Amino acid sequence: MTGENADTWRLSIAMATFLRPAGPDDTEIGTGTAASAQDMGGAAKDHVTCGSSGFLEARIARMVRDKLAAAKP
């Protein structure tokens, strides 16, 4: 979503967040992303694979933890 080409290239982003049991009273959360970008100027070009800084994944985990903490009696 940022970087020198984020405003002009076609971005394809897939994301999944999952929850799974991690013990009798624990749940593990995980988020995975896969992204690529393609320069749309001129002749057709191959997609470029994009990486993640981990910021969004950490934000999702923090938001889930905050919501769960607020819901506890």
> For each successive 10 residues of the chain (73 residues), what is the average pLDDT?
75 91 89 90 82 88 89 81
pLDDT at 2: 61
> In this structure, how many other beta carbons lie within 10 angstroms of the beta carbon of residue 37?
19
Query: Is 5 inside a domain boundary?
Result: no
pTM given for the model: 0.64
Query: 69 is written with which tokens?
Result: 């903490």
Query: Is 3 inside a domain boundary?
Result: no
Q: Give the chain's domain count.
A: 1
The answer to whether 19 and 29 are in contact (CB under 8 A) is: yes
pLDDT at 21: 93
The domain of 31 spans 10-71
Query: Is 2 inside a domain boundary?
Result: no
Query: Is 1 inside a domain boundary?
Result: no
Query: Is 62 inside a domain boundary?
Result: yes
